[in-house]
Every structure is written in C-alpha cells, then in structure tokens.
Structure 1
Amino acid sequence: MADGSSVRAAIVQAAPVPLAVGAGIFALQDHITAALDLGARVIAFGETFLGGYPLWLDEAPGAALWDHPGTRALHAALMNEAIRPGDARLAPVQELVDRSGALVSVGAHERVRSSLYNCQILHRPGLPPLLHRKLVPTHGERLIWARGDGSTLQTHDDSEIGAVGSLICWEHWMPLARAAMHNQGEAVHFAAWPTVRETYAIASRHYAFEGRCFVLAAGTIQTRDDVLDGLDRCAMGSEARHAARALIEAMPGGQLQHGGSMIIGPDAQVLAQAGSGYEILTADLELAQIAQALTALDSDGHYARPDVFELHVDTRPREGVVWSRQD
C-alpha cells in the first residue's frame, strides 16, 4: 500500500430489482458505470442488492407461518433467479471491472446446490470474484438463507490500496469475526446493510476505529412497489404468482428501506453520508491516515494479548458430504 496515496470510493445507494436477478445485473452495470464516471475505483452496493433484501420476512404478517403459500412461491423465485458459482450472467460486470481496474462489492442471493446464501461478491480486476457468505442469518432471515462457513472469511490482498474485505449486517456484532478480519489487515472494509440505521452506523464506525480501516457502510432503498415490479419480471405459474403477490401486498406501502449509507475514516469520523434516496456517495480515502491511526491502537498487534487470548479460525469448506475413493 502506498501510504501517501489516495483513492476515490463510492457507495451506490440505489433500489435493487427485487427477485429478478438477471434484470438486476443489467441495472448494476449502469450503476457501476455512473460511479466510474465520478472517478471511483472502490465501489460498494448494499446487502443482497442482486435480488433485493427479502422485505416480506419483516414486513408481511404471516410470512413465517408453516407452508405459507406466498413465502414458498417467493423462495422458489429466488432459487430460480439466484447467482450460482461461476455464473455467466456476471461476465459483463467482470469485464467492466477488468477494463476500469476498479474493485466492486455487491450483495447477492447465491444458490449452492439447493440452498440459498446471503453473500457479498467482490469483483476484482483480472481475478475471479471473491465471495463472502454470511456466517449467521439474523432472526427471520433463517427462513431463507443457510449459514456460511470459515472458507469465505477472507480478504483480497492483491490490491494497490491494501487488503480489502467485507462482512454483512449483524456479522459486525460478532467479536470473533471482527478479530479474524482485523488480523488480515484490511485497509478498506465493505459493511453491507439493508438500511444503515443508527445502531448500524454505530457498528460501522466502531469497526473502522477498532480495525483502523476505511469502512464503506452501504445501504439500499426499496419500496413495496419495487418488490411487486420485480415479481412481475419473474417466470412462475399463476397460482404461485397470486400467492406471492398477496403476501407482498400485505406489506406496508411506501419506502421500506431508507439508505443512510456512509463512508468512514479509520478514526471513526464520517467522511460522507447519504440521505434516504438515490445517491452515489463519494469520498477520497487518504491512505496515510491508516498508519497514523495505528499509532494509538492496533487491536491485532500492540493492543493485543496473544499470551492471554488466542483465536482459531477454521477455513475449511464444510460441504457436509465428503466423497472419497479407495482403489
């Protein structure tokens, strides 16, 4: 990392195309291009931007009832639309990243075999995307997402600005997950949220101060009408569509996710903050501030006590079934 250098960062606080991931990828390319035109070379999008945050889990009465037909229909739609490992639909995004040299972090629903995961995809020039899968879905999210494992608790280190990593939403209240990320020496951290509420802003600023890194706390905006529009773009049978629409229409009208994105320095100071509408939030990250902040606190180094505390991180993929052959 060049300590005297500066890099422009951007958070694209926009509405996703809920459910319809393919359409969302087309919109994503336009959003990335707009951020690149502003000079950004580090670009963030919020939690599950591709596919949209499943608002019905929090907002629609009865969504958690056993065998709810609307919940089943929406889950099936996300299963059909979700990103898969090596998904060719993301190739145009990778081409944009390769041409520009930018780093782009975007949240997505990912399908692995027959389960969905909440993941953050880091597109990086000349390399395959780096994924982080949410370790613990929060509360009602457990109805839709499986748990990630330690194999995706990692950073991108081949960068001129230093290590870059991400955590998703309430992972920022997992002390050991934070310690594992701080150990990898992040210079820039993507904190993905649905809306950056007051407590989420506190968690993001705390992470920046504790980790001595820049934090891009990225939120999204979303309305009930956005979800209905996304549903109309999905292929499904008439009975399933009717059930899904009825559940979505049971949610309150108007705006349900309110942005609040912010870019934070390694001293926890807010460098830029968005409102509740569409916005491309930018700030220039002065990388020398990281080393200056480390003078007083290095939570993984001179402020650690390895003689008292030790953290073991298991980074093996946990597939559940291991196939072996004995000749």
Structure 2
Amino acid sequence: MACHGQQLHSHGLIRCDTMIDSSTQDSPMAKLGITEDTRHQVRVAVTQAEPRWLDLQGSVDKTCALIVEAAKGGAELLAFPECWVTGYPAWIWARPVDTDLASRYIKNSMRADGPEMARIQQCAADNDMTVVLGFSENFHNTLYISQAIIDSDGKLLALRRKIKATHMERTIFGDASGDALTSVVDTRVGRVGALSCWEHIQPLLKYYLYSHREQIHVAAWPPLHPYKDEKELWSMSREGARALSQTYAIESQAFVLHATSVISEQGISLMNTERGAVMSTPGGGSSAIFGPDGRILTEDIPQCEEGILYATLDLDEILRCKSFVDACGHYSRPDMLWLGVDREVKKHVQ
C-alpha cells in the first residue's frame, strides 16, 4: 500500500490503538475452568512509530512520551523496535559510503552509561514500566545494534548487542562478543528476552534463548515494507519478517512482541533513500503481538500510521503449548544433539 501524501504524527503523544485480550472468557484457559484469580496476566504494549531520525535528544523525548502514553493504557511492559534511538540508518541500503551521515549518526547514537539512558531509566521507574529498548549504541565511537531491558524500578537488567550486523549494516556497526548472550532476564512481569531483526534466523542463537525459558520475547525490527516482486528477497519483506517472529513464538512457546518503526517522506528525504533497496517509500509499520502457539493477537495498525498495540497476556497459555512441545525439554534429544556456548566477552587488549 502506498502512503504518499499521508502525514505521520510527529509531535506530542501517540494515540493508543488496538486492545486485544488473550485471556477473555472465550480463551482456551477460560474454557478449561481456570479463573481470573488463578491466572498470571500481564498487560503489554508494542510501539509502531517513526523515530526522531539522527536526533538523540528528540529520540529520548519521544521514547519517554511513549512510555507515559503506554502507562496510561495500563501497560506493564513496552517494546521498541531495532535502533529506535536514533533511528535505523536506512541509507546504508542505498549507498555503501556516506561519511557525513555516518558521522552525524555516531554523534547522535546513545551511550549505555550516558545521561540519555539514565533519563529513560528514570522515566521507566516513574511510570512503573518494564521497557525493552532498541538503540544504536555508541561505545567510544564504535557503534553496535543494541537492546536494553529496563525493569519497572529503572534498573538496567540487560544490555545486549546484535551478534552479527546484517549485510550492509556492517558498514556502520560492529559485531558482539559474549555480550550478545545476555538476552533473557527476570523482570517484574516475568522472563523477558530480546533479539534484533535477522537474529531470528540464527538457529543456534534462538535455541540458546529457548533454553532460558522466555515467557515474553521482544523481536525488534526496522521499518518493514510489503513484498512487491521477485526482484526483492521475500525474507526481507514485511511478510517474511513477520513469519520469522511468528515461527519464534511457535518454537519457543513464548509470547512475541514484534516491534517495527515507520518511515515518512521526511525520513526518506533526510537520509536520501529514494532509490534504496529498502525503506525507499513511506510506511513500514508492521507491529504485532503473537501468542505462544503462533496465533496473532492484535489487529494491524495501517503501515503509515503511528500507534501503540496492547494485549493482556495470560502466561498460563504457555503451559498449554509446552504440554505439546518443548524443544529444550521433553521434545529434545540432548544425548544426540546439543549446543555449546562460550559466554565470555572477548576483549581487544588482554
């Protein structure tokens, strides 16, 4: 669907959108006679919004505004997309070298121990919100695609980096070491984990997370556009990426919060991506929430619009799925197949 001429909300708070309850009286758990007071329910939210491109302070402002808005919607956990701060560097898919934009991007990327992150942590605490935040991390002017898991008291529980930058991302971002594996933690709302983008095609990495028994997984993505023709890779399209997040839900028996950004004509013009392989037209919004059996729990927000998706998750639904299959439990053969892991973070100078 083309979005030319449509205006995105660019200021103020973002409207709430879809509210789907996975624990209504028609849910499978309710039909089994499991009542409200015996269920573990969590209200979650997923953003679909346009970043403040190449603007660190504006990105933090909008992040905090979305946290406040989600709290008003009753959310206990809020998920953000890949490189939400300070926006995904879409120009890399249009040209391999742009030192001016790259320099500006470095300046506006966020330090994990900087005042901007501290402000987001304080906002999470002020609004009693667990936050999973995708951001471009500036570590001594080397960049990483990173995710932070912040608990509702503002504590930074996990800081992880994308295990391997994908294709053209390697012109901007470095690779992780063992810090890619700090991916699943206990939060107030349950066991929460996160991966970025095409990490969802990494079988060994996914299996490692499955073994940590996630209940809620955040799948962070950039803007995702519908598949057009055979000149493109279907796997990079909105449909392909959604299929990966949906498959993750089925394989892990976890709820998956599929978080995407939106790009407007303004963003395209700023990064000059009109002739790029991806993110060359307005839109890209594809946020969704999947149940632990893979079913979609939310209605779509139009791809050119900003909004917040909500769902009330019944974590006991996970048990129904685990009773059928558990790839790290009763449906596995560790006597035949197993995964070896090196969690050590390798240093440049030892």
Short-chain TM bin: 0.7 to 0.9
Matched letter for residue 57 of structure 1: I
Matches of 2:348 and 2:120, distance apart in 1: 32
Q: Distance in 2 between matches of 1:23 and 1:150?
A: 31
Q: What corresponds to 2:66 in structure 1?
A: 31
The answer (yes or no) to whether the contact 2:67–2:127 under 8 Å persists in 1 is no
Q: Is the 8 A contact 2:144 2:176 kept in 1?
A: yes
- Corresponding position of 1:96: 123
8 Å CA contact retained: 1:110, 1:117: yes
How does 1:158-307 map onto structure 2 within 5 Å?
Answer: 158-196=186-224, 197-226=238-267, 247=272, 255-274=281-300, 275-276=302-303, 277-307=305-335
1:281 CA drift (Å): 0.7
**Residue 165 (structure 2) pairs with residue 124 (structure 1):** no
Give the count of matched residue pairs: 297
Letter in 1 for 2:285: G
Query: Which residue in the other structure is 1:317 paired with?
Result: 345
State the alpha-carbon separation in 2 of the partners of residues 319 and 256 from structure 1.
Answer: 41
- Consecutive unaligned residues in structure 1, runs of 5 or more: 230-244, 323-327
Q: Is the 8 A contact 2:50 2:262 kept in 1?
A: yes
Find the counterpart in structure 2 of residue 45 from structure 1: 80
Tell me if the contact between 1:224 and 1:249 (Cα under 8 Å) persists in the aligned partners.
Answer: no
Distance of 2:148 and 2:185 partners within structure 1: 15
Could you say which structure has the higher helix fraction?
1
Aligned-partner Cα distance in 2 for 1:21–1:228 = 19
Q: Which amino acid aligns with 2:117?
A: L
Show CA shifts across 1:61-100 (max 9, x none).
Answer: xx21xxx4xx111111111111113111122221121133
Residue 36 of structure 1 and its aligned partner are, at CA, apart by: 0.9
Give the secondary-structure state (helix, strand or coil) at the position aligned to 1:107. strand
The CA deviation string for residues 136-171 of structure 1, in whole angstroms up to 9 with x for no partner, is: 111111111111122231245332432101000000
Cα distance in 1 for partners of 2:130, 2:208 equals 22
What amino acid is the match of 2:89? P
Structure 2 residue ranges without an equivalent (≥5): 1-36, 225-237
Using the alignment, how far apart are the partners of 2:159 and 2:283 within structure 1? 24
Distance 1:272 1:249, change over 3 A: closer
Deviation of 1:20 after TM superposition, in Å, equals 1.1
Task: Tell me how far apart the structure 2 counterparts of residues 3 and 294 of structure 1 sit (CA, whole Å).
Answer: 18
* TM-score normalized with structure 2 length: 0.80
Deviation at 1:47, TM superposition (A): 0.9
Look up the equivalent residue of 1:115 and give its one-letter code: T
Instruction: Specify which of 132, 142, 154 is matched with residue 182 of structure 2.
Output: 154
RMSD: 2.1
